[in-house]
Amino acid sequence: MINNLESTFGNALHVFKSNIDYDNFIDAINQLVDIENIDLIVMGTRGNSKLDKRVFGSNTIRVIQRCSCPVLVIPNDYKYLEIKDIVFPTNYYSEYKPNDLSILVDLADKYDYAVHVLHVKVSEHLTENQKNNRAFLDACFTNIDHSFLELDQGNLYTVITKHIVENSIDLLAMMSRRHSFLERLFITHPVEHFTFDLKVPLLVMEN
């Protein structure tokens, strides 16, 4: 695999290393993250049969939920496009720390991405805590082209995928913490198929 990557792409900026571990799948990944100080896990989803989709989808969700590192999930058959717009869904209930969003902020700042903060309304008015968390996000994205969007309540999976398609979103970014938008999305949509139905890369930031 490494020989193929090096001969096909020949990018001098990339160095590839292989690792073989006879351990629990998640434990092996977390150990490597610690040993190599990994900044980002990149996973592809693949498989043609229903069984393959279930297995690979399950592994992807396990990595998202249990690995101690941000994860970038690349959908099956995804064709690379230059990233310009990122959508970041939030309910504004979660209190963030600057480090929680560091990878998103760094990427957006370095490559001039626009970040669209998406809030699916549960009520017409935000609580004071929600307002404070929204203000914190506004401060985090000060040096980045960003906007705040309010969408009417509905099935979370339907709302977010519709928004991605209709607005030509290139990347979906989410937090993996409890009570997050991601957790609510998994509750409302079968986890085995989520990463296959999504048409854009998914960046999951751990906390």
pLDDT over 70, % of the chain? 83
Helix (H, G, I), strand (E, B) or coil at 36: helix
3-state helix, strand, coil in the chain (%, to 5): 45, 15, 40
Supply the angle between the helices 156-166 and 181-188 in degrees, to the nearest 10. Answer: 110
Instruction: Tally Cβ neighbours within 10 Å of residue 152.
Output: 7
Is the pLDDT at 207 greater than 60? The verdict is no
pLDDT value for 36: 94
Give the whole-angstrom CA distance, residue 168 versus residue 85: 8
- Fill in the amino acid letter for 157: Y
pLDDT band at 12 (very low <50, low <70, confident <90, very high): confident
Model confidence pLDDT, tens digit, residues 123-161:
778 889 999 999 999 999 999 999 999 887 767 777 888
Q: Which residues pair with 118 in a beta bridge?
A: 89, 149
